[in-house]
Amino acid sequence: MSTFLNNIQTPDDLRQLKVKELSILAQELREFIIDIVSTKEGHLGASLGVVELTIALHYVFDTPKDKLIWDVGHQAYGHKILTERKDIFETNRQLNGISGFPKRSESKYDNFGTGHSSTSISAILGMAIASQLKGDFKRQHIAVIGDASIASGMAFEGLNHLGVTKANVLIILNDNAIGIDPSVGALKNYLTNVKKGTAKDENIFECLNMNYTGPIDGHDLDLLLTELERLKTIEGPKLLHVITTKGKGLQKAEENQVAYHAPGKFNKETGERIKRVSKAEPPKYQDVFGHTLVELAQQNQKIVGITPAMPTGSSLKYMMEEIPERAFDVGIAEQHAVTLAAGMATQGLTPFCNIYSTFLQRAYDQLIHDVALQNLSVIFCLDRAGLVGQDGPTHHGVFDLAYLRCIPNLTIFSPMNEIELRNIMYTAQQDLKGPIAIRYPRGRGVTIDWRTPFSKIEIGKSVELKKGNKIAFLTLGHIGNLIFQLISEVDTPESIGHYDMRFLKPLDNQILDKVFTQYEHIITLEDGCEIGGLGSSIIEYANKMEFAGTIKVFAIKDAFIEQGTIEELHNICGIGMKSIKKYLEDIF
Ligand SMILES: Cc1ncc(C[n+]2csc(CCOP(=O)(O)OP(=O)(O)O)c2C)c(N)n1
Ligand SMILES: CC(=O)[C@@H](O)[C@H](O)COP(=O)(O)O
Ligand SMILES: [Mg+2]
């Protein structure tokens, strides 16, 4: 039964507590997070790891006047609970609920929207400079950033600037030696040496002109309070290095930090994860990618695999286990991952560069300038394409079709099922000259027996799945499976034709020419943004061919889409079964 937490709505309430009461509050806050996340799901380990830090920051600093930013923001559950959102925390990540990440429109305590990593240093520096320009030299500016996120290029760009300013900024490096998967790279090794006391003399952050303190135990509340109070009085750029344990306070989460980053539902007493008991079900697309890549790489020595910090999420981990010398986790470094792949391709290697669709946004110039312009044979596997669900607008992979389609030399493919994914991977590593983007969604496919022998896919060829005489559905990717069900449920299935376009680029003009002559109505369906995607491309071509029938585009309208289950979001966006059926009723 919470006692102190019950009485806290705002950080002002927190600041009424005595220092000796804060450790009890920490215990209560942990239990509260565990209680809710065990049933509602979400990012657990990171938030448990910063419970003491969260309390100490709001206790010492005058939030929301002082500015506090959480990098990525997946560790900000405690912050949300202590800043007016305790009573609605159970709606975390649900449709119409609070966001799983800090969000400016949600709270005056969320100073900057996050979700993608490594933005906090630049953003807090921007706020600190604004504060100086306004003549306010008192306001404090704090960014909390993890050891994996600080290794990203963008964070280094921020540090590089910060070190030549007099900005009143405190960076808190929350070092738990892990991202989603174990942290990697030379900086990780350096931080390990700092913790062991074996680092070379000069401290890297001091060399960058920051006042460095640490490493200190980030679970020791007294120490945190003392150091934060002291740092508050020091002007200019400062960095406090705290050591924490991801998953702190829940034994299972401490023992298996990768799985408990976002464990799904679990038993709040034992920590045991609740596995769905189900009969045979189709695999996740990510696993089809991961296992197929191992199969291909065992046959083709030129294949290399690259992931920027998502070995588990992308399933590149299978290749990292089986063929470690050719599989690379480069950390949160999407830009580097793409140009690294480009460099490898110039030397005759065949890189499979797996990046979540949303995170590839960060490497757009590298994709154009380093890969496509040089027509290098890099195979991009874009996971989490389309609406991803509870992570919400920061993570939906809905822009990729539009931002990829305008890039010359790039082939764009979206598999409708596991077998198409396997076969395009097989084809791309054998035949393709130039880059290809293969985009597939979060979650499971549709084929239980998916390990079929490889066969080649003809580049630019779509598939006629069903002939019709009035209405043609042109679909791209997994979402096309909806149309099978739809056809089985309508009164006049003979009127409907269905085409799995497979390639957004090059478009299959041959089949389109046929479709334009045989059907009165064309309906396109995709799980990407309307502007610039499949529907746009069909309208452009139809216009050129002077098609006289109607074209209806089912795609995501020009708006950011909030969080919810994928099914809820498809319905809200009007790309679910209900909307399509309604449209059909109108034209029948
Ligand atoms: C640009 C970008 N790439 C990848 C991710 C996926 N991601 C979310 S959290 C995370 C690990 C963050 O690790 P760290 O900064 O050490 O924080 P911790 O989880 O340990 O608290 C990653 C890779 C992301 N959010 N943004
Ligand atoms: C916080 C973050 O960016 C990741 O943890 C993300 O939530 C992973 O998403 P998946 O669960 O789809 O791998
Ligand atoms: Mg970390």
Tell whether 268 is covered by a domain: no
Nearest-angstrom CA–CA distance, 435 and 412: 9
Q: Does residue 570 have a known ligand-binding role?
A: no
> Strand ranges (DSSP E) for 230-369?
238-243, 303-307, 327-329, 350-356
Q: Classify burial at 368, counting beta carbons within 10 Å of its beta carbon; exposed 0-12, middle 13-18, buried 19 or more.
A: middle
Q: Indicate the pLDDT class of residue 346, thresholds 50, 70 and 90.
A: very high
Confidence of residue 276 (pLDDT cuts 50, 70, 90): confident
CATH number at 498 reads: 3.40.50.920
User: At CA 300, angle to CA 295 and CA 303, rounded to 5?
Assistant: 90
More confident residue, 276 or 463: 463
Distance between CA atoms of 209 and 162, rounded to whole angstroms? Answer: 8
Task: Please indicate whether residue 362 is annotated as part of the active site.
Answer: yes
Question: What's the pLDDT at 401?
Answer: 98
Sign of CA dihedral 88, 93, 98, 99: positive
Q: Which pLDDT tens digit goes with each residue over 53-86? A: 999 999 999 999 999 999 999 999 999 999 999 9
Banded pLDDT at 204 (limits 50, 70, 90):
very high
In angstroms, the CA 54 to CA 69 distance is 11
Three-state SS across 315-344? CCHHHHHHCHHHEEECCCCHHHHHHHHHHH
User: In the sheet that 141-146 helps form, which strands lie side by side, from edge to edge?
Assistant: 67-70, 141-146, 169-175, 238-243, 211-217
Which of 424, 439, 454 is where one domain is finished? 439
**24, 92: one domain:** yes
Q: Which atom of ligand 1 is nearest to the CA of 72?
A: 25
| 474 and 575 housed in the same domain | yes
- The span from the CA of 254 to the CA of 40, in Å, is 20
Is residue 262 within 6 Å of ligand 2 at its C-beta? Answer: yes
Instruction: Judge whether 176 is annotated as a binding position.
Output: yes
- Coil, strand, or helix at residue 207? helix
pLDDT at residue 587 in the model: 84
In-domain check, residue 505: yes
- Structural domain includes residue 387: yes
Q: What pLDDT shows up at residue 1?
A: 53
Q: Among residues of the chain, what percentage have pLDDT more than 90?
A: 96
Report if residue 266 sits inside a domain: no
433 and 502 co-located in one domain? no
Ligand 1 neighbourhood includes 176 CB (under 6 angstroms) = yes
Domain range enclosing 400: 285-439
* Phi, psi for 143 (deg, rounded to 5): -125, 130
Annotated active-site residue 246? The verdict is yes
| Mean of pLDDT values over 85-95 | 98
The ligand placed nearest to the CA atom of residue 243 is 3
Task: Indicate if 432 and 476 belong to the same structural domain.
Answer: no
- Buried residues in 523-558 as b, exposed as e (16+ CB within 10 A): bbbbbbbbebbbbbbbeeebeeeebeeebbbbbbee
Q: Is the CB of 313 under 6 A from ligand 2?
A: yes
Do residues 143 and 48 share a domain? yes
**Of 261, 277, 297, which marks where a domain is finished?**
261
* pLDDT range class, residue 279, cuts 50, 70, 90: confident
**Cross-strand partners of 497:** 472
Number of domains, the chain: 3
pTM above 0.80, yes or no: yes
What does the pLDDT average to over 229-254? 98
Classify residue 183: in a domain, yes or no.
yes
24 shares a domain with 170: yes
Token pair 């992931």 is found at: 307
pLDDT digits (tens, 9 = 90+) for 168-192: 999 999 999 999 999 999 999 999 9
> 486 and 412: one domain?
no
Q: Give per-residue pLDDT as tens, 147-174.
A: 999 999 999 999 999 999 999 999 999 9
Token pair of 494, please?
């003979």
Backbone angles phi, psi at 475, to 5 degrees: -120, 155
Q: Which atom of ligand 1 is nearest to the CA of 309?
A: 23
Residue 396 annotated as lining a ligand binding site? no
149 labelled as ligand-binding? yes
Nearest C-alpha neighbor of 572 from the set 389, 434, 430, 379: 389
| 17-60 tens-digit pLDDT | 999 999 999 999 999 999 999 999 999 999 999 999 999 999 99
Condensed to tens digits (0 to 9), the pLDDT of residues 524-548 reads 999 999 999 999 999 999 999 999 9
Q: Could you give the CA distance from residue 435 to residue 567 in angstroms, rounded to a whole number?
A: 32
Domain holding 35: CATH number? 3.40.50.970
Residue 199 pLDDT:
85
The pLDDT of 398-420, averaged and rounded, is: 98
Evaluate: CB of 188 within 6 angstroms of ligand 2: no
Per-residue burial over 258-286, b = 16 or more CB atoms within 10 Å of its CB, e = otherwise: bbbbbbeebeeeebebeeeeeeeebbbbb
Q: Which of 118, 180, 286 to mutate to test the pocket of ligand 2 (most atoms within 8 A of CB)?
A: 180
Residue 270 forms part of a structural domain: no
Name the residue with tokens 């995709």.
526
**CA 246 to ligand 1: nearest atom:** 20
Mean residue pLDDT across the chain: 97
Q: Considering every ligand atom, which ligand is closest to the CA of 71?
A: 1
What band does 588 get if pLDDT is binned at 50, 70 and 90?
Answer: confident
DSSP-derived letter for residue 164 is T
